[in-house]
Every structure is written in structure tokens, then in C-alpha cells.
Structure 1
Amino acid sequence: MKHSTLALVIASVLSGAVLIGCDKNEDAAGEQAAQQQMPPAVVNVQTVTLDTVPQVQTFSGRTAAYQTADVRPQVNGVIDEVLFREGSNVKKGQPLYRINTDNYASSVTSGQAAVQQAQANYQTALANNANAKAELASRQASLAQAQNDLQRLQGLVSIDAISKQQYEQAQTQVRTAQAAVQSAAAAVGQTQAGIESAKAGIQTAQAGLEASTLDLNRTIVRAPLTGRTDRSSVTAGTLVSAGQPEPLVTISRLDPIYVDISQSSSELLKLRQQIAAGTAQPGMNSVELILEDGSVYPVRGKLALSEAKVDESTGAVTLRAIFPNSNHILLPGMYVTARLTQSVITNAALVPQSAVTRTPKGETQVYIVDENNKIQLRPVTINGTYDGQWVVTDGLQTGDKVVVIGGSKVKPEQEVVVKPLENANPAPSATNAKTPLQAAKTVDKKPAGNDDSNEETKEAAAQ
């Protein structure tokens, strides 16, 4: 009985295994038949064209005033009046503060009196000089008379017509006249020195008057440049002093305005190496600005300078761009994003972002369709984006067909049906056809605001 039951169980198991094997064979056969009946997958491809592509870099930056002046007093005194409205625009030379003038006005009056006194002293010196010259002429006449008398007596003394004592007296008169002439000449020289001293006195008095007048004029504190004022640090009645550390007010010129951009020194080194190796060419100095709210600033700026040193604390190099700012949209200290075409890459391809996939290791690759309409996997090198597409610098050749749509349902060596990607790169008209580089240059030539701002921008860039 037991043997019969065991036989039945074994028979049941064997029959089940046979049935399961039959089912699996049937499923495999059905799958092969389905694969033979399924049509090839359809993929949309884009044909690769190598071109020169601008390399647009994005940097963070902050705006800075084109010019900034801290206004300080140049004389001491009490502020009598504030002559401007805080936060307003002022012109160069416009009065901002008036300092009490009492002390400086009296100094000017004293200076004027000192000049008049010096001029009077000069006239006195001239008169003394004229008198001294007249006295010299008189003494010279007396000397001539004495010499004539001595010469006449010389002949008489030789024949004893006169006494020797008379002749000696005549000689003494000549010597006395000569001494008088010398004294008169010295007096003339002294009065001439008095004239020069009086002239110097006039110059000193005039210098003192000019200094007092300058101080009086400086009681009106004027704007050193055209720009916008911030808050005044003083009010009427405040005592201020020349050269004080705290400015009365700060004026900032906002049109044009600077944007200071920070770029990693390693990125800059890589860029220069690419240019040196010939894989890239120098780009344009046009800069596009993205504001804090994500909007694009309507006017493009120009790159003005690149610092010749690296900040030790950040390892970055500062680039400075200049932008027209006639509407004062940009204010100093604003955080912005700058896009700068620093170089152009030769023999690069633009590929839609959907065509590129990444491996778990981060390597980039694309599917291409070969001449047998089979899928091939191709590693590529990506160098940024341009106009929403990846810039491929290595791995693709002109004429390669890159799978843009349908790549998720195919695998290498699979045969596919190829269709061109519709409107992947709309064909422009003959008159408007542009390469990526030409398009970038066209954008670079957009009007840059009013003429005055453009001229100032060119001057700053030339400096």
C-alpha cells in the first residue's frame, strides 16, 4: 500500500515538470516570433557639422561706482547751512555746505590792508632811492669841482704862485669829495635794496591775501564730481575741521558703472593654454549681465581690464567690465551674473542636451547611427554650453548622425530606422545665415546706450 502511494506522488511530480518545460519552450518560441515580427526602432538624428563656437563663461560679480568721492572740509568752522538734498544728483562744482565765514572775511580784510601797506612802503622806497640818486649826483659834481681846482692849483704851486698849504687844502677837498661820492653811492644801493624789500613785502602780503581769500572761498564746500549723494553725516551747527577722518558726504558717479567679476586663476590658466595650443582663439570683450531677479540687463558692457595679480585669499583674478547706466538701474554693491565670451573654440559641434548621456563614472557619451543604420556608442568631450546646446570638442566628426530622440529605447548594434530631427537647426534665409561666431558678434554690436556713455566707456577701456 505504501509503495503504491509513493509511486503515485513521483508520477505526479514528473508530470508537472514535463508540463512546465513545455510552457517555457512555448514562451521562448513566442518571444522569438514577436521579435521577428516587431519593426526596427525609429530614432531622430541630427547630422554633425563642425564649426567655430563661442565659449561663453558665467561669472558672479558685483557692481561698483565708476567714480567715488568722499567730501571733506578744507577749513575749520561751523556748518551754517546744508545746500543740497540727500540722495539727489549733483553737478560738479555745485555748493553742498556753507561754513561760517566771519573769521575768514576778517582775514581777507587784514590781508587787503597788508597789501596796501606793502605798496605804500614800496612807494616810500622809490622816493628814498630817488633822493639818494640826487645826492649822489650832487656829490659827484662837488668832486668834479674839487678835482678841477686841484688841477688848476698844481701849475701855480710849481712856480710858487700859491702857498703849499693852499695846495694841500685843495687835495684834502678832493679826497673829501671822493668820500662823499662813495657814501652817496652806498646810500643809493641801500635804497635800491629797500625797493626790492618792499617788492617782496608786496608779494608776501598778496600771498597772505590770496590764502585768506582761498580759505574764504573754501567755506563753500562744493561737489568734486557729478554724481549721486548719499546721506549727509552733519547738519547745520556742526563744528567741522580740515582733513577730518569722517566725510561730510559721499558722491558716487553711476553712469557708466563698473562690474567687478571674479574668475578662478585655474580657469584663466586653462583658457590661456587652449589659446596657446591653438585649440581656441581669443574671444570678444563684450559682457552680458544677468540681474538678481533673473532679467537680462538691456545693454551689453565692455571688458575694461584684467588685474595682473591673483587674490591670495580666494585664488581668483578680478576682471572689470564697464556698462552704460543712464537710467541708474544698476547701483553700487548689487550682486549680478556676467556672461563673457573669453574665447572661441574651433572644430566644435553643437549637440542638443537630450542627445548626451553620462555613465556612472560621469563620462559623457552619445549614440550615433553608422552607415549600416546600426547604433554605435561614442564617447565625447563636452566643453560647456552655447545657446542651450552642449559644445562637443572631441569624439564627433562632420557627417556623424547623433541620436537625439529615441536613444532610451535602443542599444549598441541594434538596427534602427533613421529620421532627421525636425527643426533641430532651422535653416536661416540666405541673407540672415550666420555661424555661431557671427551670431555672437552680432549680439556684441548691439547699441550701448547714449553717445556720452559710449564715449566714456571707450575712454575707460583705453585706460
Structure 2
Amino acid sequence: MLRRASLLSICILAAGCNQEQQGNQPPAGAVRPQVSVVMLHPRAVAITAELPGRVGASLTADVVPQVTGIIKTRLFKEGTEVKAGDPLYQIDPASYQASYDSAEATLQKDQAAIPSAQAKVDRYQNLIKQNAVSSQDLDDARATLAQAKADVAAAKAALETARINLDYTTMKAPIGGRVDASTITEGALVSSGQSTALTTIRQLDPINVDVTESSANLLNFLEAVKSGRIKTAGPDISVKLKLENGTTYAHSGTLRFVEANVSTTTGTFTVRAEFPNPDRLLLPGMYARAILEVGLAQDSFLVPQRAVSHNTRGEATASFVGSDGKVVQRVLSIQRSVSNNWLVDAGVSDGDRVIVEGTQLVRAGQDVTATEVSVDDATGDIRPLSQSSALDKPPVASAPVRAE
């Protein structure tokens, strides 16, 4: 009886062990989870900086009177384009014309005194040789001639001043551009040197865009250039503009200057770009975002943002499908965002297959079935590859990718 019980116990233990071994193995014919992957290859990535800013006129001039008088006529149409030198206002010139005529008459009178004084000097120079006049008489004659010449010079200066004031009665555009509304009407009295401008002219073509960048980002960029990760674009940096409604401005601009001063309150500095504006689409005060192409990162990897998550330590991680078909999770070193991708400088290598869809259904070490897809850089949407595309063929970028 005891022997029969022992045999029964052995059979039960053997059956339990067999069931445990069968439970640790996947059932025969089990379906592997399906995941979508993107094959990574190194490529050149255009490094850009997208910075907020405001549009401003390239030239701005306030039109203020240089003489006092009554506005007789307004000679421009508000809101139109004017050229430098175009007449804008006519101040009543009557009093200034009279001053000019008076100065001209004074000059003629002073000029008439010179021949008489010159003749007296010439005569005394001949008489003094005969001791017919004293040296004092000759010196007085010379002083009279010098005074007459000085009077002529002063009269010429007064005449020029009167001419300038007379010209100022016709107020002209100091620069070309679009003229604002007039702040005064015909018949108004204006004063020389008044603080209130009669109108303002703004040059809109070309036009400036002033953007701000943090000093911290500048230091990071310079460090990347020094280490060789980024090759600078050179002195002629191209700039594109994204408008308030999300559209991209049709014309490219040029970087004009970088402010050599960092604000102590905001930690930012100003960067100015100049854009052509033939259609006058850009107006001063508009908000815009300038995209500066500052450099090129050679042999870089772009990992779709949808494939990257973070672990409990805050590290960026992504899941990959190894050559054996098993899932592997790695920690990535991210530099910056590039459209809908991350620019990664550590944690990936050529030919890696990163999972972009189905990550939630798998775990590290699990066997999966991988289907290669592509991810649109602009939208982040997944697109199927054609049947003829090989897994080991690198993607071809039709346009440089822009960093945000």
C-alpha cells in the first residue's frame, strides 16, 4: 500500500513539472506581435533656428517742419508710395520770399562798395611813393576794402540762409517709402523744431525682421561647431520667414547683423534679417518667425519623435528590432528637435530598425514581426513602403530638414 502511494506521488510531481515547463514556452503556432519600424541611416541635416520676431521698416523718417508758417497745401495722397525729394507740404512762402529778396539786395549793395574801396587803395599805393599821403591813410583805405569784402561774405551767407528757409517752405520727402496719414490739415500753423511729426514715411522694400535668441542657445551652437558636430553655413546665412497665418513667405532673406550685446533682464540678443518686399505683403509690426539656416550636421541620425519615450529617470528611450527579431530598448542622446524627428548623436547606428508603431504591445526580449514603413518628416504620419524598396536602402531626402 505504501509503495503504491509513493508511485502515485512521483507521477503527480512529474506531471506538475511537465506542465510548468509547458507553461514557460509559447504555445506552438503562436502569432508574433506586428510592429512597424523605420530603418535608420546617417544623412546630412540642415541645422536651423526658428526664432520669434517682429517686422520693421528698413528706414523710417518723421516729417517735421524746419520753418514756421501756415500750411498752404498738402501735396501727397495719404497711404501712397512717395520718392525721396517728392513735395509733401507747401508752407506759405511770402515772408520767406521777402527775406530772400532783402538779403539779395543787401548783397548787391555790399558788392557795389568794393570797387570804390579797391580804387582808393590802388590810388594811395601810388601816392605814398611820392609822400603825398601818409601810411595811416593807406592803412585806413586797406581796412575799408577788407571791411567791404567781409560785408559781401556776410551778405552771401545771409542770402544762402534766406534761400534755405525759402526752400524749407516746400517740405519734401527725406526718403522713399509709404507715407502715413497726415496729422495736420491745410491752414494749420506749424513751428520750426516742433516735436509732433506732420506724417511718417516708412521704407517697406527691403524690410527688416528683428528676432531674439537666447545666449544659452548661442553657447550650445558654438560648442557644437567647435566639437565638429556642426559645420557652419558661412557668412551668407539664408533666412526664411513663417508668417502669422502659418504660411511661408515666398522670398528668402539675408542675415544682416547680430547684436553684440545680451540683455541683462531677458538673457537674449537681437538678430536682424533683411527681406525683399516687392508686393508690400510684410508690414511693420507684424509677428513672424524667422528660420535661420545656421549650419549642417554631417552623418547624423534622425529618429521619429513618435518612436521616443522617457523612462523613470527622464532619459530618452526607444525600442528597436534586432537582427534576431527580438525587441531591444536603448537610451538615446538627443541634441534637438528637427521637424517631427529628434536629432540623435548616441544610441543608434546605421541599419538600426526603430519601432514607430506597436511599441505598447511588446516588451524587451520579445519576438516580433517587423514591417518597414516611412515617416513623413513634415507631418509625422506613417506611410507604407513600396514592395520594391529594400530594407537596407537609405531614405532619400528631397529637401533639407529644418530644426525648430
Letter in structure 2 aligned against 1:41: P
Residue 232 of structure 1, CA deviation: 1.3
Q: Which has the higher helix share?
A: 1
What's 1:268 paired with?
A: 218
Q: Distance in 2 between matches of 1:32 and 1:398?
A: 35
Q: Report the alpha carbon displacement of residue 51 of structure 1 after superposing the two structures with TM.
A: 2.6
> In the TM superposition, what is the alpha-carbon distance from 1:209 to its structure 2 partner?
0.7
SS, match of residue 28 in structure 2: helix
Instruction: Determine the structure 1 residue equivalent to 2:309.
Output: 357
Alignment partners' CA distance in 2, 1:58 and 1:376: 34
Q: In structure 2, which of residues 249, 266, 289 is the aligned counterpart of residue 297 of structure 1?
A: 249
Following superposition, the deviation at residue 33 of structure 1 comes to 8.6
| Conserved 8 A contact 1:231-1:249 | yes
Partner of 1:51: 43
Distance 1:125 1:40, change over 3 A: same
Structure 1 residues 81 and 311, CA, compared in 2 at 3 Å: closer, same or farther?
A: same
Match of 1:459 in 2: none
Given that residues 81 and 178 in structure 2 are in contact (C-alpha distance below 8 angstroms), is that contact kept between their aligned partners in structure 1?
yes
Which residue matches 1:405? Answer: 357
Answer yes or no: is 1:36 the counterpart of 2:28: yes
Structure-to-structure mapping, 1:335-354, within 5 angstroms: 335-354=287-306
Change (3 A) 1:375 1:233: same
Task: Provide structure 1 residue ranges, at least 5 long, that are not aligned to the other structure.
Answer: 1-24, 141-179, 444-463
AA at the equivalent of 1:203: A
**Separation in 1, partners of 2:37, 2:280:** 48
1:377-396 equivalences in 2 (<5 Å): 377-396=329-348
Q: State the alpha-carbon separation in 1 of the partners of residues 274 and 384 from structure 2.
A: 36
Structure 1 residue 208, shift from structure 2 partner: 0.7
Aligned partners of 1:271 and 1:306: how far apart in 2?
Answer: 15
Structural mapping, 1:62-211, within 5 Å: 62-136=54-128, 140=130, 180-181=131-132, 183-211=133-161
Within the alignment, does 1:327 sit opposite 2:279 as a pair?
Answer: yes
- 1:356 Cα deviation (Å)? 2.0
Normalised by the size of structure 1, how large is the TM-score?
0.73
Q: Deviations over 1:132-179 (max 9, x none)?
A: 245345xx2xxxxxxxxxxxxxxxxxxxxxxxxxxxxxxxxxxxxxxx
- Paired residue secondary structure (1:37): coil
Deviation at 1:336, TM superposition (A): 0.9
Q: Is the 8 A contact 1:46 1:401 kept in 2?
A: yes
What corresponds to 1:12 in structure 2? none
Residue 192 of structure 2 is matched in structure 1 by: 242
What do the CA deviations read for 1:192-240 (whole angstroms, capped 9, x no partner)? 3322221111111111111111110111111000001112121112221
Q: How many residues align?
A: 371
Give identity over the alignment, percent.
34
Structure 1 Cα separation of the partners of residues 269 and 367 of structure 2? 52
User: How far 1:384 sits from its partner (Å)?
Assistant: 2.9
**C-alpha contact 2:41 2:395 (8 A) present in aligned 1:** no
Deviations 1:256-288 (A, max 9, x none): 111111111211122122222223222462122
Which structure 1 residue ranges, 4+ long, deviate > 4 Å from structure 2?
27-34, 422-428, 433-436
Deviation at 1:61, TM superposition (A): 0.7
- SS of the residue corresponding to residue 200 of structure 1 reads helix
Q: Distance in 1 between matches of 2:249 and 2:395?
A: 24
Q: In 2, distance between residues paired with 1:401 and 1:440?
A: 22
User: Which whole-Å CA distance do the structure 2 matches of 1:81 and 1:35 have between them?
Assistant: 98
Q: For the structure 1 residues 397 and 295, does the alpha-carbon distance in structure 2 shift closer, same or farther, using more than 3 Å as the test? A: same
Q: Is the 8 A contact 2:57 2:204 kept in 1?
A: yes
d(CA) in 1 for partners of 2:385, 2:221 = 28
Which SS does the other structure have where 2:27 is aligned?
helix
The code of the aligned residue for 1:87 comes to G
Amino acid at match of 1:261: V
Q: Partners in 2 of 1:323 and 1:342 — Cα distance?
A: 17
**Amino acid in the other structure paired with 1:205:** A
1:247 alignment partner, SS class:
coil
Shift of 1:247: 1.2
Residue 320 (structure 1) shift: 0.8
Q: CA deviation at 1:88?
A: 1.3
Q: Which residue, out of 303, 313, 317, partners 2:269?
A: 317
Letter in 1 for 2:266: T
Deviations 1:9-39 (A, max 9, x none): xxxxxxxxxxxxxxxx9x9999879733213
The whole-number CA distance in structure 1 between the counterparts of 2:215 and 2:385 is 36
TM-aligned CA distance change 1:370 to 1:435, over 3 Å: closer
d(CA) in 1 for partners of 2:181, 2:264:
35
The equivalent of 1:281 in structure 2 is: 231
| Distance in structure 1 (CA, Å) of the matches to 2:125 and 2:254 | 75
Distance between the aligned counterparts of 2:396 and 2:337, measured in 1? 16
- Residue aligned with 2:206, SS: strand
CA distance in 1, matches of 2:179, 2:352: 61
Deviation digits for residues 233-258 of structure 1, max 9, x if unmatched?
21112221211111111110010111
Tell me, yes or no, if the aligned pair for 2:333 and 2:345 is still in contact at 8 Å: yes
Structure 1 pair 234–434 and aligned structure 2 pair: CA distance change class (3 A): farther
Distance 1:126 1:33 in 2: 129
Higher relative strand content: 2
The TM-score with structure 2 as length reference comes to 0.83
CA distance in 2, matches of 1:338, 1:195: 70
The one-letter amino acid paired with 2:324 is N
Tell me the equivalent position of 2:6: none
